[in-house]
């Protein structure tokens, strides 16, 4: 967090209250918010803020590598991840939640490691796992028991 502020200052980027608030929000909301999520959350404290500012700040943070835009979308909307660390995502098909997967296992995929992909140079991997999360699984089991 701090390093972002410092970094951006060094880069000569103006740190407006809006930008600070968006960075702060992203830091404390790791549940992959959309631009709208951010806008709505900050609406109260910054009533005059425009959604265009949210978009432009997200673009700025993305371009500087502080956040990642996921390849997948939440109800048609782009969503963002406050980290540059390489990790993967699990999507619950029941509750729509996106859960981070810290596992390195996908990166150890032999074909990728060996760079054997027919001469391709692989930089980044984003894996999306679709399924039912533990919370939703529990609920299903409960329901079945009650029957």
Partner DNA sequence: TCTTAGATTAAAATCATTTCAATTCTAAAA
Partner DNA sequence: TTTTAGAATTGAAATGATTTTAATCTAAGA
Residues that bind a copy of itself (CB under 8 A): 71-72, 90, 92-93, 99, 101, 103, 105-106, 109-112, 117-134, 137-138
Cβ 27 to a copy of itself shortest distance, Å: 23
Q: Which does 128 bind (CB under 5 to 8 A by kind): a copy of itself, DNA, none?
A: a copy of itself
Q: Give the Cα separation of 47 and 14 in Å (integer).
A: 21
Q: Which does 16 bind (CB under 5 to 8 A by kind): a copy of itself, DNA, none?
A: DNA
Q: Give the Cα separation of 26 and 1 in Å (integer).
A: 10
Q: Which residue number, 27 or 73, has a Cβ lying nearer to DNA? A: 73
Under the criterion CB under 7 A, does residue 55 sit at the interface with DNA?
yes
Question: 30: closest CA among 95, 102, 110, 93?
Answer: 102
Q: Which residue number, 44 or 124, has a Cβ lying nearer to a copy of itself? A: 124
Under the criterion CB under 7 A, does residue 34 sit at the interface with DNA?
yes
Indicate the pairing of strand 88-92 with strand 77-81: unpaired
Q: Give the Cα separation of 58 and 51 in Å (integer).
A: 11
- Cα–Cα separations (whole angstroms), residue 71 to 30, 77, 79, 80, 88: 16, 11, 8, 9, 11
Q: Which residues bind DNA (CB under 7 A)?
A: 13-19, 34-36, 46, 48-53, 55-57, 59, 73, 75-78
């Amino acid at each position: 967090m701090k390093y972002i502020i410092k970094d951006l200052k060094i880069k000569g980027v103006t740190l407006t209250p809006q930008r600070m608030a968006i960075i702060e929000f992203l830091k404390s909301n790791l549940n992959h918010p959309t631009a709208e999520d951010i806008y709505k959350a900050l609406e109260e404290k910054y009533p005059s803020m425009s959604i265009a500012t949210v978009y432009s700040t997200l673009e700025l943070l993305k371009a500087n590598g502080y956040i990642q835009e996921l390849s997948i979308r939440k109800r048609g909307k782009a969503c963002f991840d406050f980290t540059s660390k390489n990790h993967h995502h699990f999507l619950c098909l029941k509750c729509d939640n996106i859960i981070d997967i810290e596992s390195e296992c996908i990166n150890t995929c032999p074909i990728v490691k060996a760079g054997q992909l027919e001469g391709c140079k692989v930089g980044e991997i984003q894996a999306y796992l679709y399924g039912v999360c533990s919370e939703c699984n529990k609920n299903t089991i409960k329901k079945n028991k009650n029957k």
